[in-house]
Amino acid sequence: MRDDASGTARDDASAVDVRFPAGGTVPVEVLLGQFGGEPEGGGGLRVGDERVREFLAAFGRRLLRPALARRHPELGSLGFFLRPSELARTVAGLGGEHVRVPRGLIFHVPPANVDTVFVYSWALSALMGNRNVVRLSHRSGTVAETILETLHEALADADPVIAATQRVISYGRSGTVTAALSAACDLRVVWGGDGAVREIRRHALAPHARDLTFPDRSSFAVVRAAAWLCAPRAARVTVAEGFVNDTYWFDQAACSSPRTVFWVGSEGDCDAARADFTDHVARVVTVRGWGVDAAMAVEKRVSTYGLAADGLAESVEFHGNALAVVHLSAAAAAPRRWLGAGTFAHARLGALGELVPLVERRDQTMTHFGFGQDELEELARGLAGRGVDRMVPVGSALSFHRVWDGVDLPAEFTRLVTVIR
């Protein structure tokens, strides 16, 4: 997009808006040419480069400022991820007999509905010494704008190599730009729906390059009913607060946000635990002022009543517009599609192992409460790769980790050099 004399954006098939470091609108060929020379001050980046670590840590500290973290709690989580000790742990985890080097130029295509994803992907890649181009959607919200502002604040004190090797850009639906960036990159990282992944894959990569894709995923929670009923009230409040964080921060649209809650135990225990859990969640939602607009409220009713009409739901309960509870007729009816913000299906299982035949490859995160480490590991082995890449406590669904969707991202962002004397 270029601006004409009136300041109105007009289409230009090869133009990109350089948003970090702020650089106006340039042709994609110019953007790629900016990566061709040696960074000012000399010296390209290395894996775990101290200059990148200092910049990321400074950026993270700014995200943890109390006023900002209160306004956007998800930025507090991001700042915590970027603290120096975590960055050092990530680099230390790459030890081995080979020499690790940066993979090269990484092209990131994050989703528009989760504003912080692009930072995690980019930060780990930058930490591995790569040059990066991140495509940020024009539809990204206020959180993305806040992130860009904070990046620029941190850039003011950063080594010039950061500005020379890192770019965040935006452009319209230009196949020309996507094709040019795809042809130039060494690794293309695509986050989004299945359709978005297929669309991006239409653009050829260089023969040596490859894709790292994170397509449509679905997640669920599993709770031992007896453990919930025996837990102190304070513990149940904490879990309910964590569940609300897992689901409402991104309108339940994040791939790791649970859409179904499986209750494990006897019918009586599960009914009692589900009712008490719903009451706790409803109170947290009310206290925090979470709500949905009229259009979303209508969509939730259409989706949930549709499940009932199809015989997949025995009953539907609405607790205002913000919370909808669907009692499934069978655990196998658990929906994978998004039903609207604050809509949760519930089903009962007699034992944790009954999950195994229900899990699908698209299932990503299982948040849990009331189970021991041995039980969870046994379930993971029983699933044998058919689905579920993360098992984390309720409240940690959105906590990013270097291993995501079963992929060790820092390892993917580097290459191994064998050195034998």
Strand ordering across the sheet containing 363-369: 313-319, 323-328, 343-349, 258-264, 218-224, 363-369, 390-393
pLDDT at residue 37, as a whole number? 54
Task: Tell me which of 3.40.309.10, 3.40.50.150, 3.40.50.300, 3.90.1170.50 is the CATH number of domain 218-401.
Answer: 3.40.309.10
- Is there a common fold for 15-216 and 218-401? no
**pTM score, whole prediction:** 0.87
362-388 average pLDDT score? 96
pLDDT at residue 232, as a whole number? 98
Cβ pair 387, 363 in contact under 8 A: yes
Token pair, residue 216, equals 């449509």
Least confident of 63-77, 199-213, 287-301, 308-322: 287-301
Residue ranges covered by each domain of the chain: 15-216, 218-401
pLDDT at residue 38, as a whole number? 52
For 180-229, what is each residue's pLDDT tens digit?
Answer: 999 999 999 999 888 889 999 999 999 999 999 999 899 999 999 999 99
How far is Cα 152 from Cα 146, in angstroms, rounded to an integer? Answer: 10
Q: Is the dihedral of CA 10, 11, 15, 21 positive or negative?
A: positive
pLDDT at residue 43, as a whole number? 57
pLDDT at residue 290, as a whole number? 83
For 321-359, what is each residue's pLDDT tens digit?
Answer: 889 999 999 999 888 888 878 899 999 999 999 999 999
Task: Please say whether the structural domain 15-216 has been given the CATH code 3.30.70.580.
Answer: no
How far is Cα 340 from Cα 324, in angstroms, rounded to an integer? Answer: 9
Counting residues of the chain whose pLDDT is more than 90, the rounded percentage is 70
